[in-house]
Structure 1
Amino acid sequence: MKLFDRRILTHFDFVQPALILPIIAISFILVAEVSSFLAEKQLIYTLVGFLCFSFFFILPIRKLAWLIPLLYWINIFLLLSVDIFGVEKLGAKRWLEVPFTHFTIQPSELLKPSFILMLAYLIYRDPPPKNGYKLKSFLKLSFYILLPFFLIAAEPDLGTATVLIIVGFGTLFIIGVNYKIWLSIFLVIAVSSPIIYTHFLKPYQKQRIHDFLAEKPSYQVQQSIIAIGNGGLKGKNSDEATQTHFKFLPISTSDFIFAYAVERFGFIGGAFLLLLYMLLIFHLLSLNAKFKDDYFTRVALNCVALFIFIYTAVNVSMTIGFAPVVGIPLPFFSHGGSSFTTFMVFFGILQHLITFRYFALDTKIRLKGA
């Protein structure tokens, strides 16, 4: 593969960085206002994220497609290992300690890129017929979606597990599944919802739903709504952003950073931020038409678009009291390394598939022959 082929510039999707980089820059400004220490950590996370992006951008993914199932099953093994060797934090086993170090990794985060690639690999090898996947193919694909869902939900981490299952089946919906299957699924969910709530949800999960449905929102959400209202139309200066300045707003640089952004930059700033996310999602979905015959790229595009949509919708809804409070960060915006790195990996994969598509055509690489 020629990394300096001039076709790289003509095929590279410059719209993605044009929309993502302003989000990263605004986030860094907000985090730096709260804490110089957090800003230094954020800078390190950013550098690591761009290194991961670069690695996956130059990685010959199509050529190494035969390794994707192995990578998927390694991640499944890590999820299984959490129950045996996992490190418990705040009543949940979600982390594994790296031997001979004090670092921990979260297998559910590591799984996400391999989850996308596995779906892309399976669908590319067996594309949907004209009327969509029938039951046998649908069940096969569902197995690879439901397996990590149950393992992650058992940690317990129902938020991440739910995002994963929505992304998986949402992608199948876009790619094409017979409508009769969807009707059956909706009926089963409608009938079984009371049973799931009564017998399968943990007490803290029920409490989150209760807090969401209660007339009076939780303390976190109350402070978040106050911060948003304090921002007004154009926002406040750093010293006048009292909710954040006096630490009334909880976890203002991570889960509730959107409320902090609106307090600082007002309704106009919050709307601009949401516009960037909306344009990014629409742009990724619009590429379905351009890659209609390349199912590998299409699956990756739809998965990433759905990840961004769900994370953004849930996080913003949570800060204004329209959704239960769950630990779902705002992509590229919330302070933290795991989420930022994961999304940079996503876009490294996407940019590789988009930019080096000419290489696949030139060398006639076909996953079906892998």
Structure 2
Amino acid sequence: MSQWFQYDRRIFKYFNYLLVIQIIPLLAISSYLINEINPLLFKKQMLYYGIGAIAFLVTTFIPWRKLIWWFAPLFYTMNLLLLLAVDLVGKTILGAQRWIEIPGTGLTMQPSEFVKVSVIMMLAYLISKKPPLEQGYGLVGFIKLSLVILIPFLLIAKEPDLGTALVLLITGYGILFVIGINWKIWLVLAVAVGLSAPVLFSHLHDYQKKRITDFLGQPSYPVHQALIAIGSGGVEGKDKDEATQTQLKFLPISSIDFIFAYLGERLGFHGMVTVIILYILLILHLFYIAIRN
């Protein structure tokens, strides 16, 4: 049993500590703002951070190179079953059925978030088993890998959660683009998507169509209120009690979708620029890691 759970010192020797240093300020700022708006959500997030840290420490003792051949397919299948369970026993919040409530805890989990990881692992597993030829994967290989992406994509889009579904789609096909697919397949796919775009648009939910038209046209009410919140913050920002856009509920879902607007109202221009710089540095560092490896 001990051979399966041996501590691998290389994990911490080669661990990218700079990445953690870059993430901590972003977590601290968002947690501070969320605690002001929704203390209960803040406590839940702290709990999730703790669970994540414990999970990381536990997984350092697991020899993934020995287990990946069966863990990746199992993890992927389990997440597909969770997505199916959402349709049966999922909890509806803000008009969308995306969550499963954990009995006896009052906490919820969103399977689509775990699916993102499982799809990446499953693609890596399949690609490592059969790497592409010099000219890239052909049609058969492309279809097999696409099924890994499209099945969860359709299940998530059905919830409906088109935003998460599109992130999964872009991530999955981004991996295939980097790994290598015959260019003729990409050309045919681009033409097919372009020709079918009007049909796809017609099948969207009304609120999804509205988001697209609002993005291309005049800002919607929530976006208008967010702009007012950002403008009212000025250069230095406001005290919590003076942040009227949020305190008086003009700014909707300020602890999630419009938290950047609340950041602008509370911490002003300086706070927004600081966060943007932190994100730019983080993204550049991630690109550096990807290129180096």
Per the normalisation by structure 1, the TM-score is: 0.70
Name the structure 2 match of 1:30: 33
Distance 1:290 1:94, change over 3 A: same
Name the structure 1 match of 2:109: 105
Per-residue deviation at 1:257? 0.7
Give distance in 2, aligned partners of 1:256 and 1:95: 20
Name the structure 2 match of 1:146: 150
| 2:66 counterpart SS class | coil
| 2:141 counterpart SS class | helix
Residue 11 (1) aligns with residue 14 (2):
yes
Structure 1: which 5+ runs fail to align?
Answer: 292-370
Give distance in 2, aligned partners of 1:100 and 1:265: 38
**What is the identity percentage for the equivalent residue pairs of Structure 1 and Structure 2?**
50
Q: 1:173 aligns with which of 174, 177, 186?
A: 177
Q: Which amino acid aligns with 1:116?
A: I
Number of matched residues? 288
Give distance in 2, aligned partners of 1:69 and 1:193: 33
Name the structure 2 match of 1:219: 221
Give distance in 1, aligned partners of 2:154 and 2:40: 37
Question: Following TM superposition, where does structure 1 have runs of at least 4 consecutive aligned residues deviating by more than 6 angstroms?
Answer: none
Distance 1:134 1:280, change over 3 A: farther
Deviation string, structure 1 residues 157-213 (Cα, Å, up to 9, x no partner): 222111111110012112222222222211111110011112x21223223323333
Distance 1:289 1:42, change over 3 A: closer
1:60-139 to 2 correspondences below 5 Å: 60-66=63-69, 67-98=71-102, 104-139=108-143
Residue 185 (1) aligns with residue 202 (2):
no
Contact 2:237 2:269 in 1 (8 A): yes
Deviation string, structure 1 residues 219-255 (Cα, Å, up to 9, x no partner): 2111111111122333333344332343322222211
Q: Which amino acid aligns with 1:60?
A: P
Give distance in 2, aligned partners of 1:35 and 1:222: 22
Q: 1:194 aligns with which of 193, 198, 205?
A: 198
Distance 1:82 1:247, change over 3 A: closer
| 1:63 counterpart SS class | helix
- Greater relative contact order: 1 or 2 (C-alpha under 8 angstroms, separation 6 or more)? 1
Name the structure 2 match of 1:21: 24
Give distance in 1, aligned partners of 2:93 and 2:107: 13
Give distance in 1, aligned partners of 2:96 and 2:38: 28
| 1:138 counterpart SS class | helix
Deviation string, structure 1 residues 77-103 (Cα, Å, up to 9, x no partner): 222233334444444433345567765
Distance 1:244 1:86, change over 3 A: closer
Deviation string, structure 1 residues 259-303 (Cα, Å, up to 9, x no partner): 111222223322221222222223223223433xxxxxxxxxxxx
Give distance in 2, aligned partners of 1:78 and 1:272: 38
Q: 2:261 aligns with which of 259, 282, 286?
A: 259
Distance 1:25 1:219, change over 3 A: same
Distance 1:239 1:231, change over 3 A: same
Give distance in 1, aligned partners of 2:59 and 2:265: 36
| 1:94 counterpart SS class | strand
Per-residue deviation at 1:148? 0.6
1:242-257 to 2 correspondences below 5 Å: 242-257=244-259
Give distance in 1, aligned partners of 2:100 and 2:210: 27
Give distance in 1, aligned partners of 2:99 and 2:40: 24
Per the normalisation by structure 2, the TM-score is: 0.86
Give distance in 2, aligned partners of 1:189 and 1:4: 46
Deviation string, structure 1 residues 136-155 (Cα, Å, up to 9, x no partner): 22111111011111111122
Q: 2:287 aligns with which of 282, 285, 288?
A: 285
Distance 1:245 1:279, change over 3 A: same
Name the structure 1 match of 2:161: 157
| 1:95 counterpart SS class | strand
Name the structure 2 match of 1:54: 57
Contact 2:33 2:263 in 1 (8 A): yes
Give distance in 2, aligned partners of 1:278 and 1:264: 21
Contact 2:8 2:60 in 1 (8 A): no
Contact 2:6 2:63 in 1 (8 A): no
